[in-house]
């Protein structure tokens, strides 16, 4: 294998809240350009907006979330992560290699048998009452006498 293999990665990063929309856009554009310069192919570029954090990060309780789904080699990802660590604008980032997960999911799907839905028998407490099912007797008819057991 002479060419390095491009793998599929998912990257989510948090941009500091002191950046307005244009500032956050500039940070995203900086990393988008870096990925392009490193030879990566971006499949998905999605801004998830400003959100409240579950806990404070660097004394901040909000951040702008952004997501990249891209194909790149390992050296490009290492360089991208190095630049993100050095950037003051990035609070946190997470890069996950997902091509193996997709392959594993497809393998599991091929091996899994399709299951027929289980038939649950009707239990007596959920069955309708017999008198509700039977048609009501006409009011003009005389009531029937109860049956006497034969002796």
Domains in the chain (CATH in brackets) are 7-109 (3.30.70.60)
Query: Which pTM does this prediction carry?
Result: 0.65
Q: Is the pLDDT of residue 123 over 90?
A: no
Mean residue pLDDT of the chain comes to 83
The pLDDT value recorded for residue 1 is 38
User: Mean per-residue pLDDT for 43-50?
Assistant: 90
d(CA 21, CA 52): 16
Is residue 130 very low, low, confident or very high in pLDDT (cuts 50, 70, 90)?
Answer: low
How many C-beta neighbours within 10 Å does residue 70 have? 24
d(CA 147, CA 150): 9
d(CA 67, CA 26): 15
44, β-bridge pairs = 69
- Identify which has the larger pLDDT, 32 or 117: 32
């Amino acid at each position: 294998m002479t060419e390095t293999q491009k793998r599929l990665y998912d990257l989510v990063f948090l941009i500091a809240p002191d950046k307005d929309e244009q500032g956050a856009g500039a940070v995203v554009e900086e990393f988008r350009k870096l990925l392009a310069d490193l030879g990566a192919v971006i499949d998905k570029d999605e801004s998830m907006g400003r959100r409240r954090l579950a806990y404070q990060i660097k004394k901040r309780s909000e951040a702008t979330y952004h997501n990249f789904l891209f194909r790149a080699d390992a050296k490009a990802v290492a360089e991208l992560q190095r630049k993100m660590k050095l950037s003051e604008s990035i609070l946190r980032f997470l890069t996950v290699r997902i091509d193996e997960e997709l392959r594993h999911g497809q393998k599991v799907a091929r091996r899994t048998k399709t299951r027929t839905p289980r038939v649950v028998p009707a239990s007596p407490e959920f069955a309708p009452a017999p008198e509700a099912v039977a048609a009501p007797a006409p009011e003009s008819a005389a009531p029937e006498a109860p049956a006497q057991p034969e002796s």
